[in-house]
C-alpha cells in the first residue's frame, strides 16, 4: 500500500518548525496541547528516526547514563511537554519559559526528570536570548554531545544522570568570564530554594 509523504510526516509526532531561512516558516499542527509553550525544533536525526523507525523506544539518541528507564516509564513520569523536551530533544518557545526571567539570589536548579543538581542560582545570568542561561554547571551534573546534524556545530547538553535533554551550550560569546552560555529549556529544570547538596563544585561543561 502506498503511503503519501504528507501522511508519513504527520505521523512523526509533535509539531515541526521549519528551521530558519524563511519568515514564512510553516508549522504543522501539534497533537500536543494548544497552549503549550513547547515548540518543535527537533534535530534531523530524531525526525529521521521517527520516519524510518530507527531508535525504537528513543534510546538510540540517548547517552549511556547511570539512570536508565524505558520510554514508557518516562512517559508515565513526565508530562507530555516534559517528555517532548527531555526525552525527544524538543525546544520550548523563547521568552515564555517559567524560569526565563527568574533570577534567584540563592538556591539551585535540578533536572526536572531525576532531581540531579545541575546549576547554582549564581550561575544564571541575563543573556536576553529568551531561555534561561547559565555560565557554568555542577561538575559531572551535565554532559555534552556535539551535534552536527543541522549543518553547524552545536553542543548539546544533557543531564549527566538520566540523559535528559537540557538545551545547548554556546561558547566564546563574551557574556561572562567562563565564556559559556548554557541555553536551557525551563521545562527541563526545576528550581530548589535553599542550600544545594554539599560537595558540589562548579565548572565549565566544554
Ligand atoms: Zn536527569
CB-based contact 37:81 (threshold 8 Å): yes
pLDDT at 165 (0 to 100)? 97
Does residue 6 have a pLDDT over 80?
no
> 113 CA to middle of ligand 1, Å?
5
Residue 66 lies in a domain: no
Of 133, 139, 192, the closest CA to residue 167 belongs to 133
Return the percentage of the chain with pLDDT > 90, whole number. 65
> 64 CA to middle of ligand 1, Å?
12
State the CATH number of the domain containing residue 132: 2.170.150.20
> 182 CA to middle of ligand 1, Å?
16
Q: Tell me which residue range forms the domain holding 136.
A: 71-196
Residue 120 lies in a domain: yes
Model confidence pLDDT, tens digit, residues 135-176: 999 999 999 999 787 788 899 999 999 999 999 999 999 999
Least confident span in 8-22, 166-180, 189-203? 8-22
Model confidence pLDDT, tens digit, residues 51-105: 333 333 445 567 899 999 999 999 999 999 999 999 999 999 999 999 999 999 9
Model confidence pLDDT, tens digit, residues 21-63: 433 433 333 334 444 566 545 554 444 433 333 333 445 567 8
> 84 CA to middle of ligand 1, Å?
14
Residue 80 lies in a domain: yes
Residues forming the active site: 183
Q: Give the global pTM.
A: 0.73
Residue 108 lies in a domain: yes
What is the number of helices (H) and of strands (E) in the chain? 4, 13
Residue 179 lies in a domain: yes
pLDDT at 63 (0 to 100)? 83
Distance from C-alpha of 134 to C-alpha of 145, rounded to nearest angstrom: 17
Residue 201 lies in a domain: no
> 12 CA to middle of ligand 1, Å?
25
Residue 28 lies in a domain: no
pLDDT at 51 (0 to 100)? 38
pLDDT at 61 (0 to 100)? 61
How many distinct structural domains can be found in the chain?
A: 1
Residue 24 lies in a domain: no
Burial class (CB in 10 A: 0-12, 13-18, 19+), 77: middle
Amino acid at each position: 500500500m502506498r503511503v503519501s509523504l504528507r501522511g508519513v510526516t504527520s505521523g512523526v509526532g509533535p509539531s515541526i518548525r521549519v528551521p530558519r531561512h524563511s519568515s514564512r516558516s510553516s508549522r504543522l499542527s501539534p497533537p500536543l496541547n494548544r497552549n503549550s509553550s513547547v515548540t518543535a525544533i527537533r534535530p534531523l536525526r530524531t525526525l529521521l528516526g521517527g520516519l524510518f523507525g530507527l531508535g525504537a523506544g528513543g534510546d538510540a539518541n540517548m547517552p549511556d547514563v547511570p539512570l536508565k528507564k524505558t520510554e514508557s516509564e518516562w512517559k508515565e513520569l513526565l508530562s507530555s511537554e516534559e517528555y517532548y523536551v527531555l526525552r525527544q530533544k524538543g525546544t520550548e518557545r523563547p521568552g515564555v519559559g517559567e524560569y526565563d526571567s527568574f533570577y534567584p539570589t540563592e538556591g539551585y536548579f535540578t533536572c526536572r526528570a531525576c532531581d540531579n543538581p545541575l546549576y547554582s542560582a549564581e550561575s544564571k545570568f541575563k543573556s536576553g536570548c529568551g531561555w534561561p542561561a547559565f555560565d557554568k554547571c555542577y561538575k559531572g551534573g551535565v554532559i555534552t554531545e556535539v551535534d552536527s546534524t543541522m549543518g553547524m556545530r552545536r553542543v548539546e547538553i544533557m543531564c549527566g544522570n538520566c540523559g535528559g535533554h537540557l538545551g545547548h551550550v554556546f561558547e566564546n560569546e563574551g557574556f561572562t568570564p567562563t565564556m559559556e552560555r548554557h541555553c536551557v529549556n525551563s521545562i527541563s529544570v526545576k528550581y530548589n530554594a535553599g542550600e544545594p547538596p554539599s560537595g558540589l563544585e562548579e565548572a565549565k561543561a566544554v
